[in-house]
Structure formats: structure tokens, C-alpha cells
Amino acid sequence: MLTAIVIGFARVCFCLVLVLRLIRDAGTDDALELRHAEPRPTDPVKPPLPAPGMEPALPAAAAEPLGADRP
């Protein structure tokens, strides 16, 4: 049980540090301003979106709904 408490505390600390770093780097904690900070779709640094109909295909096992092989 002590291990679970320590792991939980470590996760909370990690998330807190992650959020504080985001606020420091972005200069804001407003979710709408963070959304506006995303690069534009035409940004040359951002990877391009696949053309319509050219999306990568899922493996056959992932394409089937769960439980499809069971009656």
C-alpha cells in the first residue's frame, strides 16, 4: 500500500511540474490562449496532413470491432 501512495505522489508531482513548465514557457494559463499558440496548418515546421483518402490504413486486427469474433 505504501508503494501505491509513493507512486501516486510521484505522479501528482510530475503533473504539477509539467503544468508549471507549460505556464512558464507559454506565458499564460488560459486554455484559449494556449490553443491559439498552436502552429497554423500551413506552418512549414509542422508535418503536413495526409491528403484525403491517403490516411494510413489500420492493421486488420485493429479494424475489427472488439468482440466481433465471439457469438
Lowest model confidence (mean pLDDT) among 5-9, 23-27, 34-38, 60-64 = 60-64
Residue 47 lies in a domain: no
Please give the residue that has the higher pLDDT: either 70 or 44. Answer: 44
Question: The domain containing residue 24 runs over which residues?
Answer: 1-38
pTM of the model: 0.49
Q: How many domains does the chain have?
A: 1
Residue 57 lies in a domain: no
Segments in 1-71 forming alpha helices (H): 2-26, 31-36, 60-63
Q: Looking at residues 13-35, what average pLDDT do you find?
A: 89
Position 59 pLDDT exceeds 70: no
Per-chain mean pLDDT for the chain: 78
Q: Which residues contact 67 (CB under 8 A, 6 or more apart)?
A: none
